[in-house]
Structure 1
Amino acid sequence: MKRISILALAMNRGGAEKVIITMLPYLTLDYKVTLVLFYNEIHFDIPKEVNIELITTKKNLNFFQKILFFPLSIFKYYNFLKREKIEVSISFLTRPNFVNSIMKLFNRKIRIIISERCYPSIAYKSHRLRWYLYKGLIPFLYNRADILFSNSVHINKDLQHNFNITIPMVVIYNPIEIPLLDNGFEKKTDEFKIVNVGSFTLVKNQKLIIDAINPLNFKTRLTLIGDGPKKNELLNYVETHRLNDIIDFTGKINNVNEYLFKNDCFVLSSNTEGFPNALLEAMAAGLPVISTNCISGPLELLNDNFEVEIKIGEFFIAKYGILINVNDERALTKALIYLKENPEELKKLSICSRERSKDFVTEVFIKKFERILRDD
């Protein structure tokens, strides 16, 4: 049985971690799998067949501590690969990808597979030093791997054109488990119920939804699911605008689908994405969706990646949902009014969401992933 390892920062409830936890039960059928984590943070039930290896038990390292920790992680991971005679090493996210790519310097025979999960030209500009550091490290290290897979065509194009990545690259969209629905989509109450799921950060831009529902003249309720550094700022903003009665903050929850089923529409308000898991999960739950046409992901999910031109202040009815420009409050308000006033369109988009989500079932992901494992 071939020995493979999966290298990740931790097993928190992020998009990359959800992909890993979905993969594991399938991989253990044919491979001996070890999950190697930088930090001891595990928020999922790991299959008993999977071995777990920790590089450190420390948490919340600052930027400079992460730099100092880097050589230690290389040393520990190299020793692990050698001891366990790993044949294929897979990594998710940038720092694990760096460590994984370096392993090729020590062992030319090991197959190195790396996965980029965000749009680099945007994601790494939040810190100037990190931007210049990664601008050099990404091409220098990533090009040592055997193959890279991401979850967006736009991510691969960015890596190729702006980071000079020359190794083979493929796109494998995130997998989804489609929940069972009892009666399909039905309007829940006289209230128009809107939901968003995501971390409360600047790029997720939940403030856009809050501003868009403020001028609505029909009964509305917004549920914001998640947590993050911008939570207090959002709470204060809601209170200042006297919207407490119509906006709910749930915090982090495990039963996301139960909340999705209770709503009429999902809104993705992000300024940028890698691949929006939350959007796909809402579609799988049969929710009509409105999304910003941000880089990257929504255009691929909602319009088969066919480019569209959207006028400022207007919305576009795509093949599987509605698209608006990034940070366009007026367009979002109009789109919400349109769905409220057109219940047949709401039902039609619900059906479209559900059908589109079937293109991303786990079996499709595993079949494509096994091809790069086998070096087809």
Structure 2
Amino acid sequence: MHSIREIFGFIRSQKPQVVVGSIAHVNRVLSVFRFIFRKVIFIGREASVDLIIAKYTNKNRVKYWKLYKNYYRNLHYVICQSDDMADDLVNRYNLSEEKIVLINNPISVDIPMKSNTEQSNDVKRFITIGRFNLEKGHDRILRTISKLNIPFHYTLIGDGPEKQNIFDLAEELQMRDKISHIPYTDDVGKYLAQNDLFLQGSFVEGFPNTALESCVVGTPVVAFKCMGGTREIIENDINGYIANDTEAYLQCIKKALNKDWDPSKVRHSVMRKFSKEIILPQYEDFFQGLREKHNI
């Protein structure tokens, strides 16, 4: 909100032909600017499934932005990262499909693949990376793995408002000594390579980059079924499993631990669909199409 004047001034002075926003509150502001800068094409890049994420959003924030709840309609185009995201906008806001541009997130980091020797034997190692928010579902992961009757260690990387609740639950489940916490790291690949499974508990995702990066490393993912791009990344028995509920999640973890995963095949499953060489040309084609359609 504090940057509205600066964004306005920049657009007025630089006179761009196209403006792209990639943060929700910025996109809302751009949707208003469209009526001021009528010669500019405004594009928003959506990051999550609005229908679900709204359930986990601060109520004051929702009230504050009530005026802009249909802001998508005012943008010329909306770039969506997943099929569910696109369907949500079309069905919930009655957007024209011509406004929707579906482009998945690219694999934007160069992470080396793990070797087979990095997989643990006696103590199984799990990892979750993500902000400690309610929608990330850390609690249902903890409740599920507490039922495992094998030696394991669980690494949590991230921070956020649910941190205390997460570790209080770990104490309640008598598994705090099995958990390591790293608030932040620049070396995600190293930690992903050290673990047997990446566990995703999310109730909603946009296009989960950490799950994608785990597959790039060669570490399979066990995720709950949720709205968002998870099902476009995870292929059962190829690079992980998707479970419908907590009991199925537990069985998927056991199944994944008993499978002899080939890191190169896990990596290939996502590189063939989401590498920069695949995704970036889609952006180039989109912007080239804008030039031709709008004579810019």
TM-score (norm 1): 0.70
Per-residue displacement from partner, 1:180-219 (whole Å, max 9, x unpaired)?
A: 2363575223211111111111111112221122122211
Residues 1:134 and 1:165: Cα distance change in structure 2 (over 3 Å): farther
Cα distance in 2 for residues equivalent to 1:90 and 1:301? 25
Give yes or no for the alignment of 1:329 onto 2:246.
yes
Residue 3 of structure 1 is matched in structure 2 by none
Q: Give the secondary-structure state (helix, strand or coil) at the position aligned to 2:34.
A: helix
The corresponding residue for 1:260 is 192
Secondary structure of 1:263 counterpart:
coil
Residues 251-295 of structure 1: CA deviation (Å, up to 9, x unaligned): 111111111111011111111111111110111111011111100
Task: Tell me, in whole angstroms, the C-alpha distance in 2 between the residues paired with 1:360 and 1:220.
Answer: 31
Which deviates more, 93-102 or 219-228? Answer: 93-102
Contact 2:238/2:269 (<8 A) preserved = no
Match of 1:241 among 161, 173, 198: 173
How many Å separate the matches in 2 of 1:290 and 1:182?
Answer: 18
- Mapping 1:107-118, distance limit 5 Å: 107-118=37-48
Specify every segment of 5 or more residues in structure 1 that has no aligned partner in the other structure, as ranges.
Answer: 1-37, 40-54, 56-72, 304-316
* Per-residue deviation, 1:130: 5.4
Cα root mean square deviation, aligned = 2.3
- Name which of structure 1's ranges 222-231 and 330-339 shifts more when overlaid on structure 2: 330-339
Q: Distance in 1 between matches of 2:66 and 2:82?
A: 20
Check if 1:366 corresponds to 2:280.
yes
Partner letter of residue 322 of structure 1?
A: Y
Kindly tell me: are residues 114 and 202 of structure 1, through their superposed partners in 2, closer, same or farther at Cα, counting changes over 3 Å? same
CA gap of 1:174–1:185, structure 2 versus 1, over 3 A, is: farther
For 1:287-337, what per-residue CA distance to the aligned partner results, in whole angstroms no more than 9, with x for missing partners?
A: 01111110011111124xxxxxxxxxxxxx355420102xx3322222222
Unmatched segments (≥5 aa) in structure 2? none
1:289 partnered with 2:221? yes
Residue pair 1:138, 1:163 contacting (<8 A) in 2 also: no
Match in the other structure for 1:64: none
Aligned partners of 2:101, 2:117: CA distance in 1, in Å? 35
Which residue does 1:339 correspond to in 2? 256
Match of 1:300 among 232, 241, 252: 232
Between the aligned partners of 1:182 and 1:302, the Cα distance in structure 2 is 18
Cα gap change, 1:100/1:184 in structure 2, threshold over 3 Å: closer, same or farther?
A: farther
- Residue of structure 2 equivalent to 1:87: 17
Q: Would you say the 8 A contact 2:238–2:266 is kept in 1?
A: no
SS at match of 2:180: strand
> 1:43 is matched with which residue?
none
Q: Which amino acid aligns with 1:354?
A: R
Q: Is the alpha carbon distance of 1:227 and 1:127 closer, same or farther for their aligned partners in structure 2, counting shifts above 3 Å?
A: closer
Which residue of the partner structure matches residue 356 of structure 1? 269
For this pair of structures, how many residues does the alignment match?
A: 286
Cα distance in 2 for partners of 1:143, 1:116 equals 13
Q: Distance in 1 between matches of 2:58 and 2:118?
A: 45
State the TM-score, normalizing by the size of structure 2: 0.88
Q: Which residue of 2 aligns with 1:216?
A: 148
The equivalent residue for 1:170 is: 101
- Residue 268 of structure 1 aligns with an amino acid whose one-letter code is Q
Distance of 1:318 and 1:132 partners within structure 2: 43
Tell me the secondary structure at the aligned position of residue 128 of structure 2: strand
Deviation at 1:371, TM superposition (A): 2.2
CA contact (8 A) 2:134 2:162 kept: yes
